Amino acid sequence: MRLDLPAFVPLPKQQPAWRDIAVVAKKGVTHAALIDAVDAGSAGAVRAATLFDIYEPKTPVPGIGDDERSVTLRLEIRDDAETLTDERIERVVAGVVAALETRLDVRLRAQ
């Protein structure tokens, strides 16, 4: 019998940043597809992406079609080598949004 022991992982030296993005996607877009697109667009800077809200309106809502829903993702962004700047965080978020748009045909939800 082999016991798997936990491996030591040092605590991160840099603080993470969190950003929430709300996008409008077709109802057939899966959670796995969203996470894959986030991974592809983040260049390794997104350490975790959590889907925490799905909004499917019962009545027509401007900006969300009958076959669409709004999904909100929380991104944890971290770089272990250097402190994140606002510009770097915005570039990572823009890359994630671009990947979501090109891979899954989603768009940012209007405020």
Q: Is residue 63 in some structural domain?
A: yes
Our count of domains for the chain comes to 1
- How many whole angstroms separate alpha carbon 78 and alpha carbon 51? 18
pLDDT number for residue 4:
84
pTM for this entry: 0.85
Q: Which residue has the higher pLDDT, 111 or 109?
A: 109
* Full domain range(s) for residue 57: 17-108
Q: Is residue 11 in some structural domain?
A: no
Tell whether the model's pLDDT for residue 108 goes beyond 90. yes
The closest of 110, 106, 107, 75 to 93, measured between CA atoms, is: 75
Tell whether the model's pLDDT for residue 77 goes beyond 70. yes
Q: Is residue 54 in some structural domain?
A: yes
Do residues 57 and 98 touch, judged by C-beta distance below 8 A?
no
Q: Which residue has the tokens 């997104």?
A: 46
pLDDT tens string 21-53: 999 999 999 999 999 999 999 888 999 999 999
CATH code of 57's domain: 3.30.70.380
Name, in order, each residue with C-beta under 8 angstroms of 46's C-beta and a sequence gap of 6 or more. Answer: 38, 39, 75, 76, 77, 92, 96
